[in-house]
Amino acid sequence: MNPSPAIRKVFQGVASRQQMFRMFDRHAQRPNRWEGDASPLCAGEWFEITEVEHDYMFEILPPLWIRGAMFAMREYLAGSVTSVFFALRIDGDIRHFHGYCDLSDGQAVERMRVAIIERESRPVRAMTREERLEHIWSITADDYRGYAGDRWPEAACGKRTILLYGSKTGSMLKLLDDLTDDEIAGKLPVQLRHLPSPIAA
């Protein structure tokens, strides 16, 4: 089911309230939703929000905890994974972020804070292939994304799928991870299509 505990940016730009709520459970369509542990799917995901949305979430319920410019939601998404909201100074500006952290790991919140600052402090806007795929997944409507089922080869079952248009055979489902560079470009918003990839260190 695409377990991916790495810290990863899943949306480019600043999410609106509607986009924020939609991304709170990006994996709602997963098979056996009520049976498996969704923690590996969600832990490590983060995206930027506005100050207004940050403050709105702070006022919904009393936080589980507040640590400086961070607070955690009292309600858990899955297992020990919950929403953590950050107000971080990056290049002189205060910016706001949401991330899913596994609180059973005492270092998860600090690792995410450091990772966000490092990612957002890049001098040139760039997107990795993984960030492009995650953004596509985040912006695609539920009717056009899903998970490979029994009709797929066993190795593909449970992996994320995307509906593509414009092929010679019309529309087709394809594994998200198997999209070509041209297919990725076709799915991204125009302003993101030609961003460079980060230069390897």
**pLDDT for 68-111, tens place per residue?**
899 999 888 878 889 999 999 998 899 999 999 999 888 999 99
pTM: 0.82
**Are 73 and 165 contained in the same domain?**
no
Environment class of residue 170 by beta-carbon count within 10 Å: exposed (0-12), middle (13-18) or buried (19+)? exposed
Q: Are residues 32 and 53 in the same domain?
A: yes
Say if residue 49 is in the same domain as residue 136. no
Half-sphere exposure of 152 (CA within 13 A, CB side): 15
Residues 90 and 146 in one domain: no
Query: How are the residues of the chain apportioned to helix, strand and coil, as percentages rounded to the nearest 5?
Result: 30, 30, 35
Does 3 map to a domain?
Answer: no
Q: Quick one: pLDDT band at residue 34, thresholds 50, 70, 90?
A: low
Number of domains composing the chain: 2
One domain, residues 111 and 14: yes
Q: Which of 62, 93, 120 is the endpoint of a domain?
A: 120
Whether 111 and 136 share a structural domain = no
- Reported as a pLDDT band with limits 50, 70 and 90, residue 167 is low
Query: Does residue 30 lie in a domain region?
Result: yes
Strands 170-175 and 81-90, by their bridges, are unpaired
**What are the helix (H) ranges across the chain?**
17-23, 39-42, 51-60, 108-120, 129-139, 181-187
pLDDT digits (tens, 9 = 90+) for 5-29: 589 999 988 999 999 998 888 887 7
- Which residue from 180, 97, 189 is spatially nearest to 140, judged by alpha carbons? 189
Residues of the domain holding 60: 8-120
66 and 20 fall within a common domain: yes
Residues 51, 80 within the same domain: yes
In this structure, the answer to whether residues 116 and 159 fall within a common structural domain is no
For every residue of 108-137, DSSP letters joined together read HHHHHHHHHHHHHT-SS----HHHHHHHHH
Among 11, 199, 9, 4, residue whose Cα is nearest residue 117: 9
**Is 197 contained in some domain?**
no
201 inside domain:
no
Q: Encoding tokens for residue 160?
A: 């994320």
Residue 20 and residue 112 in one domain = yes
Q: Which amino acid is at 74?
A: R
CA 154 to the chain's CA centroid = 26
